Amino acid sequence: MARILQGNLHRSRLAHDLLPQFVAEEKVDILLISEQYRDRDTPSWVSNDAKTAAVWMPRRKIADMEKGDDYVRVRVGRITCFSVYLSPNLTAADFTARLGALEDAIRDVSGELVIGGDFNARAVEWGMSATNRRGRAILEMAARLNLVVANEGNTTTYRRPGYGESIPDITFVSEMTIHKIRDWRVTEEYTASDHQYILFNINEESASTASRNQDRMPRWNTRRMDREVLQEVIQSAELPSSGLPHELIGRERAMTLVERTTKVTMPRVSSSHQRRPVYWWTDEIEELRRESLKARRRAQRKHNRPEAPDLDKKHEEARKELRDAIKASKRRCWSRIIDEAENDPFGKGYVIVTRKIGEMRRTEPMEAVAIEKIIDKLFPTHPIRLEKDETNGPTDEIPLFTEGELIAATSSLKSGRAPGLDSIPAEILKAVATQQPELLLEMYNQCLV
């Protein structure tokens, strides 16, 4: 399941600053952006040359992409996403030409589609009271491409005090994708833009993938393992032959006993991921964002009344206070990093710089001779080995595992690593082998019989 945000920043620096915090709070995976304040310096951000449309994937890498005059196309797994912006200042002829170029780009893509952007058009199909000329042209294009409007209800996305409200932001999806869209909504949080963001989820998994995910073995949080309880459970455990049903043999015996020990000594790993706020976020900034939202709502409700100018002024003052607080917080954080770098050269500043260099580094093309040398080193040629004559070796009896072999094998396991298909952490096997090795020896030797 991927979470997608669609929105117009309206060239606002404050909206640009607040966006990463909103992404962290809502756990957004893919962003379809229009009219960005500026491009972000990260490989996971792609925009068109006019800087009017962009796609940002904070947690993913962008592989397949294409840019146009009014759009950006990015492929995410089995789904292709378009971010679109069509200016309201285009003449009728220019609008028709730009819409035709967008249609050609969409037609060249096969499979599932998600198209989000600011189209600056009106149509009843996405919640407006009437359909204008632009809206009819867009609907005709959607019909030719088998696209469906995903907008729900008539909640406005453009809200500017004194200028009215409308719905220029539209989400289109292909017919095969519409049934995967979940929880489409217009957010009510403060964005510092004249536009409200659109949020929705999309199921990227096929039925077979979802079934496999449900059948996955549990993961365990080894950092919270209770070693005292572990020792008590191991000491009180009975041998498999006396404590388990006789019909369980081999691997089933080991799994049953060790799983019992694992369940009572450590919790499972939570599947939810809590994202950190942006580095400069504070309680004061959160409160100022809340006050800015209240001020804007008051100005919107009273925009045709005598008190509207005073409310608009208060809204601008709240925006300025929020903007200044963000700038001051960023400066404080930057000064703190500089001070820490004086005392610890390999601290947080070092981590930030090396991460940025790692993102920007690109592999230079190599000559054929250098590539051949690397391949020869990685995959050396060995002489052909003759098969050994093993006819004289023992063939009728397999020696049982010893306690020394068991301890040596478990000691070689690395802690903190992902377990195998049995989902049993290495820490549990080490503890059992050290404190009561006969529990494992009997079960492993049963596998040799």
Instruction: State yes or no: pLDDT of 244 exceeds 70.
Output: no
Whether 96 and 186 map to the same domain: the answer is: yes
Whether 228 and 325 map to the same domain: the answer is: no
pLDDT tens column, 120-135: 999 999 999 999 999 9
pLDDT tens column, 216-229: 556 677 777 777 88
pLDDT tens column, 78-107: 889 999 999 999 999 999 999 999 999 999
List of long-range contacts for 223-230, beta carbons under 8 Å, 24+ apart: 224/266, 224/267, 225/265, 225/266, 225/425, 225/427, 226/265, 226/266, 227/265, 227/431, 229/264, 229/265, 230/261, 230/265, 230/428, 230/431
d(CA 428, CA 245) in angstroms, rounded, equals 22
Whether 193 and 74 map to the same domain: the answer is: yes
Strand partners, 66: 73
Whether residue 212 lies inside any domain: the answer is: no
Whether 290 and 313 map to the same domain: the answer is: yes
d(CA 191, CA 186) in angstroms, rounded, equals 12
Whether 196 and 298 map to the same domain: the answer is: no
Strand partners, 238: none
**How buried is residue 204: exposed, middle or buried, by Cβ count under 10 Å (0-12/13-18/19+)?**
middle
Q: How many domains does the chain contain in total?
A: 3
Exposure on the CB side of residue 165, measured as CA atoms within 13 A: 15
Tokens representing 55 are: 């796609």
Closest C-alpha among 61, 76, 89 to residue 116:
76
Residue indicated by tokens 């960005």:
36
Whether residue 45 lies inside any domain: the answer is: yes
- Contact partners, residue 365, CB within 8 Å, separation at least 6: none
Confidence of residue 272 (pLDDT cuts 50, 70, 90): low
Report DSSP letters for 204-239, one per residue.
---HHHHHHHHTPPP-B-GGG--HHHHHHHHHHPPP
Helix, coil or strand: residue 345: coil
Whether 152 and 235 map to the same domain: the answer is: no
Whether 258 and 229 map to the same domain: the answer is: yes
Strand partners, 202: 2, 181
Whether 13 and 64 map to the same domain: the answer is: yes
Higher confidence at residue 311 or residue 82? 82
Mean pLDDT of the chain: 83
User: Following CA atoms 34, 36, 41, 44 in sequence, which dihedral angle do they give, to the nearest 10 degrees?
Assistant: -10
Percent of the chain scoring above 70 in pLDDT: 84
Whether residue 152 lies inside any domain: the answer is: yes
Whether residue 362 lies inside any domain: the answer is: no
Q: Which of 171, 205, 239 is the last residue of a domain?
A: 205
Whether residue 380 lies inside any domain: the answer is: no
Whether 337 and 412 map to the same domain: the answer is: no
Whether residue 165 lies inside any domain: the answer is: yes
Q: Which of 154, 184, 205 is the last residue of a domain?
A: 205
Instruction: State yes or no: pLDDT of 59 exceeds 60.
Output: yes
Whether residue 337 lies inside any domain: the answer is: yes
pLDDT tens column, 273-298: 556 788 899 999 999 999 999 988 88
Whether 186 and 48 map to the same domain: the answer is: yes
Q: What is the pLDDT of residue 389?
A: 57
Around Cβ 380, how many Cβ atoms within 10 Å? Answer: 7
CATH code (residue 75): 3.60.10.10
pLDDT tens column, 336-384: 888 888 888 888 888 877 776 665 555 667 788 888 888 888 888 877 7
Amino acid present at 395:
T
Whether residue 379 lies inside any domain: the answer is: no
d(CA 448, CA 400) in angstroms, rounded, equals 7
Confidence of residue 46 (pLDDT cuts 50, 70, 90): very high
Strand partners, 160: 164
**How buried is residue 322: exposed, middle or buried, by Cβ count under 10 Å (0-12/13-18/19+)?**
buried
pTM of the model: 0.66
**Range among 137-151, 225-239, 359-373 rated most confident:** 137-151
Whether 53 and 81 map to the same domain: the answer is: yes
Q: Which of 297, 331, 355 is the last residue of a domain?
A: 355
Q: Which structural domain, as residue segments, surrounds residue 137?
A: 2-205
Whether 222 and 197 map to the same domain: the answer is: no
